[in-house]
């Protein structure tokens, strides 16, 4: 089963994708994570993407679709969860082709509906454990013991360089201009389902699980 999680930055796509990955043996394919790894490694893709990402703009369609193709070739367990891809109409077309070439189909497109005003606060307050990647938030989810990761006990945390208010505003504008217009395409194909992304994390997961059916 292959699914897309759609929604603006901070809607909870990454959080839900990791939960589905753990619960159902699906594989999260996050182009944002792939690009951040490329930037960290200083690869040619990373060098091209770094400034674009820091500005909150979109990396080229060709680069991200190539990354997705490579990851699909590496195998996607019991199915792929596309997180942060596709983000443009050209990427949506590329994904259809990438799947068709591999004899696969797209089963569901799940839009996390959120109140945009709440997103800036969600994003600007978030941070992760530098060791295990567990996600936290200044207001909504602090570690139980201040300065110590609940999961692995590590003491260092990090924040994404693009999680600042100015960049978040650009990311939202990009979403509205380039990503939101692909929603009607999937709606027309009968693939779109909407979920309340403002509900608490567990409820959002339950709503998605209900759409996907038994694992």
Q: Does 85 bind ligand AMP (CB under 6 A)?
A: yes
Q: Does 32 bind ligand AMP (CB under 6 A)?
A: yes
Q: How far apart are CA 196 and CA 39, in angstroms?
A: 33
Q: Three-class SS of residue 58?
A: coil
Q: How far is the CB of 215 from ligand AMP (least distance, A)?
A: 25
Q: β-pairing, 3-6 with 108-113?
A: parallel
Nearest position to ligand AMP, beta carbon: 32
Q: Does 58 bind ligand AMP (CB under 6 A)?
A: yes
Half-sphere exposure for 67 (CA within 13 Å, toward CB): 26
Contact 75, 165 (CB under 8 A): no
Q: How far apart are CA 34 and CA 48, in angstroms?
A: 13
Contact segment (CB under 6 A) with ligand AMP among 18-26, 79-87, 103-111, 194-202 equals 79-87
- Catalytic residue ranges: 13, 87, 126, 160, 171
Q: β-pairing, 157-158 with 108-113?
A: unpaired
Q: Does 56 bind ligand AMP (CB under 6 A)?
A: yes
Q: How far is the CB of 214 from ligand AMP (least distance, A)?
A: 29
Q: Given candidates 5, 20, 29, 59, which one binds ligand AMP under the rule CB under 6 A? A: 59
Q: Does 7 bind ligand AMP (CB under 6 A)?
A: no
b/e sequence 83-121, b meaning 16+ C-beta within 10 Å: bbbbbbebbbebbeebbeeeeeebebbbbbebeeeebbb
Q: How far is the CB of 198 from ligand AMP (least distance, A)?
A: 18
Q: How far is the CB of 31 from ligand AMP (least distance, A)?
A: 3
Which residues of this protein are in contact with ligand AMP, per CB under 6 A?
Answer: 9, 31-32, 35, 52-53, 56-59, 64, 84-85, 87, 91, 162, 171
């Amino acid at each position: 089963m292959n699914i897309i999680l759609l929604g603006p930055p901070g809607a909870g796509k990454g959080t839900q994708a990791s939960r589905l990955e753990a619960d159902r043996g699906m594989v999260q394919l996050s182009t944002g994570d792939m690009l951040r790894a490329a930037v960290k490694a200083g690869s040619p893709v990373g060098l091209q993407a770094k400034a674009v990402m820091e500005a909150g703009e979109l990396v080229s369609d060709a680069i991200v679709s190539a990354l997705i193709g490579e990851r699909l070739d590496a195998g996607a367990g019991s199915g792929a969860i596309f997180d942060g891809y596709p983000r443009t109409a050209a990427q949506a077309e590329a994904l259809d082709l990438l799947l068709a070439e591999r004899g696969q189909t797209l089963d569901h497109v799940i839009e996390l509906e959120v109140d945009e005003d709440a997103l800036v606060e969600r994003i600007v307050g978030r941070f992760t454990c530098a060791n295990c990647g567990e996600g936290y938030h200044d207001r909504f989810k602090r570690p139980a013991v201040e300065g110590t990761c609940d999961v692995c006990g590590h003491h260092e945390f990090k924040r994404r360089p693009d999680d600042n208010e100015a960049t978040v505003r650009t990311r939202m504008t990009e979403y509205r201009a380039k990503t939101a217009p692909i929603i009607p395409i999937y709606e027309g194909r009968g693939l779109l389902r909407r979920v309340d992304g403002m509900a608490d994390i567990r409820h959002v997961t339950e709503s998605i699980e209900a759409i996907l059916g038994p694992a």
